Amino acid sequence: MSVDQILVLGVNHKTAPVEVREKLAFPDIEVPLAKLGEVPGCTEFCFLSTCNRVEVIFTSATPEKTVRHIRSFLFADSNLGDEEATRYTYLYTGADAVNHLYRVAASLDSMVVGEPQILGQLKDAYREAYARQCTGTILNRLIHKAFSSAKRVRTETNIGSSAVSISYAAVELAKKIFGSLKNKKVLLVGAGEMAELAAEHLMSQGCTEITVANRTLKNAVTLAKQFNGKAVGLSEIIPQLELADIMISSTGAQDLILHHDDVKPIMRPRRNKPLFLIDIAVPRDLDPKLNEIDNIYLYDVDDLSQVVEMNKKDRQGEADKASAIVTEEAIKFSNWLDNLALTPTITALLGNAEQLRKTEVERTLATLDLSPKEIKAINKLTASLVNKMLHHPLIHLKAECHTQEKQEKIDHLRKMFSLDVRD
């Protein structure tokens, strides 16, 4: 397989707004993995879905046909036509696909450059794909090297120390609204990693009272205990909003959990005290119409990009160092893949040469009366001659060059030495 048969097709925060991305949300990873297994020409694949991106990393010997099927699958429930779907997606092939994946793993392609969550999400996605035997020799190597490349970035640069997460960006936005978060009351809806990170940042900024609401009360209790807070069920969101200053929502719900008409009546009991709502879920949890209510400030994940922009200059220098590491590691993988393509030809060439040597030596020895020591010397001599004769052809074959030129070398060598035609 050549590097050109590795592809990444996806949608992210740069190419599509949240109202499009939320239509591509897949709460159960088994479904997309099963569907991708049915796509013609899709030989190896991994499915990555986060709040800011949906990507399929795959290999195919018939890329054009496979890409059409994968794009159709991703947008099957979006009510968007093929032209619109194509406009919102990106496609990387070959070395560009390798480089893109490495950048994703190193958090260089994230909304918040340097945030650590994406690497864990990619590891989870790969673990699921590997467990279901969706990956093989190529993607196993590619993704593992993406992990080690990301580790190098964390070790050799300071991009992690100057990075912020989506949750941290949300807190920074809250500070702009309130000026200070000291003694503010917080309602977290959802008890996952995003909610936990938000709680950590909020507590560090002086928030003293945290309430966690979650569909599974046990999970809410577990998270609330970490911050000496209290836990409630999702049905208690409205009463809790009467008391809260800040609400951050990050559930995995497929529909809105809070509507305009739910919140408007509580503003009078609150005496119109400002309420900051941030929706970091995809699909969105909160009704966009909430922004129409006076003294309610609603932001979604796309709004966080403004906070991110403010920090870009500080991180750019470290990001440049990280990009150099990623490029170096991507080249190493491409070289490995090129050499992998050579293996069948080298094996066939050496095997044929050795078989020919043995045949001719045995035919000659049958006519001679030689001692074991003399026979050993002849075998050593002929093996040495074969190795020396093949040395330069193999050096020529292994020399660095473009993929197309390398394939031409392979084809010429196979024809020259009468090897079997490659599949």
DSSP structure string for 222-263: HHHHHTT-EEEEGGGHHHHHTT-SEEEE----SS-SB-HHHH
The pLDDT value given to residue 301: 83
The domain limits of the chain are 3-163, 166-308, 356-416
Does the structural domain 3-163 have CATH classification 3.40.1400.10? no
Closest CA to 335 of 21, 15, 95: 95
CA distance readout (Å), 53 to 18, 26, 67, 118? 10, 11, 17, 10
Mean pLDDT by 10 residues, the chain (423 residues): 84 90 84 93 95 93 94 91 93 95 94 84 95 94 96 89 68 84 92 82 86 93 91 94 92 92 92 90 92 93 73 76 94 83 82 91 92 93 92 83 76 82 45
User: What CATH number does the domain located at 166-308 have?
Assistant: 3.40.50.720
**Catalytic residue flag (residue 207):** no
Write out the two tokens for 389.
């004769």
Give backbone dihedrals phi and psi of 181, rounded to 5 degrees, phi first: -100, 10
The pLDDT value given to residue 310: 66
* Buried b / exposed e along 105-116 (16+ C-beta atoms within 10 A): bbbbbbbbbbbb
The pLDDT value given to residue 113: 81
Q: Do domains 3-163 and 166-308 have the same CATH topology?
A: no
Out of 42, 46, 51, 134, which one is annotated catalytic? 51
The pLDDT value given to residue 422: 44
Closest CA to 60 of 6, 98, 126: 6
